[in-house]
């Protein structure tokens, strides 16, 4: 039977990224989970969304849901922290229990392969939306397909996001 890669299915499960400590993580490990992928920053006016993200994670973590946080310094230099300092900030200030990945580029020519995929309908088959600021959110179904996105101003605890997550968890 052909694999997803052989079938050219548009899925985030084809990517490998580095976690906050630099260890490679195969996103195929998240197969079967609904994901909210967010580009974050520690010195942004929207940084308190890290608290809302943790509350959302706590609400759904027992139901095959995961948040993947990707710190980025692409917007006004609002992510000056690196590695351990960044991990400590997220854990101590906001009790973040979800995976935090290595700082990455999320827009433009230097965007990581994952964020190029998330941002381009031509690549992901569903949405055309690159981050315009920190805390842009992508919703991914259990098969790794991008199904929706939410702008920075959408609070992670919004009814719109929660409804979308519940719908995907039931699918």
Alpha-carbon dihedral of residues 10, 79, 133, 126, nearest 10 degrees? 10
Quick one: 32 exposed, middle or buried, by C-beta within 10 A (0-12, 13-18, 19+)? Answer: exposed
Q: Which residues pair with 71 in a beta bridge?
A: 40
Task: Give the helix ranges, DSSP H, for 27-158.
Answer: 49-60, 83-88, 94, 113-119, 121-124
Q: Is 44 a catalytic residue?
A: yes
From 17, 44, 53, 165, the catalytic residue: 44
Answer whether 92's CB lies under 8 Å from 107's CB: no
Quick one: 53 exposed, middle or buried, by C-beta within 10 A (0-12, 13-18, 19+)? Answer: buried
Q: What share of the chain is helix, strand, coil (3-state, %, to 5)?
A: 35, 20, 45
Residues classed as catalytic:
44
């Amino acid at each position: 039977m052909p694999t997803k890669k052989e079938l050219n299915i548009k899925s985030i499960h084809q990517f490998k990224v580095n976690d906050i400590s630099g260890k490679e993580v195969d996103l195929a490990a998240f197969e079967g989970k609904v994901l909210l992928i967010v580009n974050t920053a520690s010195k942004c006016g929207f940084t308190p969304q890290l608290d809302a993200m943790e509350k959302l994670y706590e609400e759904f973590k027992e139901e095959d849901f995961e948040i993947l946080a990707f710190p980025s310094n692409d917007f006004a230099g609002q992510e000056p922290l690196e590695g351990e300092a960044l991990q400590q900030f997220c854990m101590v200030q906001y009790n973040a229990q979800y995976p935090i990945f290595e700082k990455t580029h999320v827009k433009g020519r230097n965007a990581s392969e994952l964020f190029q995929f998330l941002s381009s309908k031509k690549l992901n088959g569903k949405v055309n939306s690159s981050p315009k600021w920190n805390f842009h959110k992508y919703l991914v179904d259990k098969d790794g397909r991008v199904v929706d996105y939410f702008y920075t101003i959408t609070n992670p605890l919004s009814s719109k996001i929660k409804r979308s997550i519940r719908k995907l968890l039931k699918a």
